[in-house]
Amino acid sequence: MTALGPGLKRLLEAFEKLGIKFFAGGSLASSVHGMPRATRGVDLVADLTPPQVDALVREIGGEFYLHPDTIRDALVAGRPFNLIHFESSYKFDIFPLRHDPYHLGEFARREFQPVRQWGDDFSLPVASAEDTILSKLVWFRKGGEVSERQWADARGVVEVRKDRLDTAYLRGWSVKLGVHDLLERLLVEAGMTTP
């Protein structure tokens, strides 16, 4: 298997060429903001619309496994779909941008960050550290609170970024997202507050 970098760079070039705004989330974002870890795929949130699907297929269809009807159906249903880079076998999970206040705010807060994990440096928009923590906690809760990986990713971001985190933002949205108790537990574990 080859490195993730070339497939990711190619997909980002295609998004840029087609005017598709996006950001990286998931383990890539937690690795950028916290403790790096190996990943078998990349989560991207994209403001992709059904009319852009044919152009995307023309742009990358020979380099990625993708199915246009599956992509269109996923966009209409608001659910993720994946693309697989033939050369590297890496999977890219594409999450359509949800148009609710939290997700629109998360999209607006994305920040360009350097990525140095695959041998060559490049930058891409990444979810903010705060939104990465919140997303990890939401996924942790949805998964029955058993995923040590989701918890460790969130804790790694808190531990690395603790002096620079906007705790008011974290606490405000954690209540609305139903993960306030998890956030407070995480902050205690990371030594940011006392029990």
Low-confidence ranges of the chain (pLDDT < 70): 1-4, 116-121, 194-195
Q: Determine, yes or no, domain membership for 75.
A: yes
Give yes or no: residues 65 and 10 share one domain.
Answer: yes
The pLDDT of residue 4: 67
- Assess contact for 42 and 92: CB atoms under 8 A: yes
- Does this model's pTM top 0.85? My answer is yes
For residue 147, what are the domain limits? 129-189
Torsion over CA: 108, 114, 116, 122 (sign): positive
The residues near 182 (Cβ < 8 Å, ≥ 6 apart) are 137, 140, 141, 145, 174
Q: What is the pLDDT of residues 27-83, one digit of tens each?
A: 889 988 998 877 777 899 999 999 999 999 999 999 999 999 999 999 999 999 999
CB-based contacts of 168: which residues, under 8 Å, 6+ apart?
A: none
Task: List the structure tokens of 50.
Answer: 């059904």
- Write the CATH number for 41: 3.30.460
